[in-house]
Amino acid sequence: MDIVGKNEPTQGGQQVNINVAEQPDLKCQECEGIYFEQAVRFKKVSKLLTGSPEDQMVPIQIFRCMDCGTPCSELMPEGL
């Protein structure tokens, strides 16, 4: 599979073809699984911090290994 598009890196003004099949897989740090699924983690933010009448729930999208369930640290938003 070749990836070619408008937002590709260019080299000397020419498009660069990248064969995704030749690139390394991201692997789970626990079991080396290569398949991940989306999950949602929620953070509860105090009403004292937001100035709203109630505490706020903030959803955070994460990815976890489909084999062992370990969250992928490389894809985790910063600060979590």
What is the model's pLDDT at position 11? 58
pLDDT reported for residue 57: 97
The residue type of 13 is G
CA distances from 63 to 24, 32, 36, 38, 51 (A): 18, 14, 6, 5, 31
pLDDT (0 to 100) of residue 79: 76
Mean pLDDT of successive 10-residue segments in the chain (80 residues)? 53 82 95 97 95 95 96 86
pLDDT at site 15: 84
pTM: 0.65
Look at residue 40 in the predicted model and tell me its pLDDT: 96
Let me know the angle formed at the C-alpha of 2 by 21 and 6, rounded to the nearest 5 degrees: 135
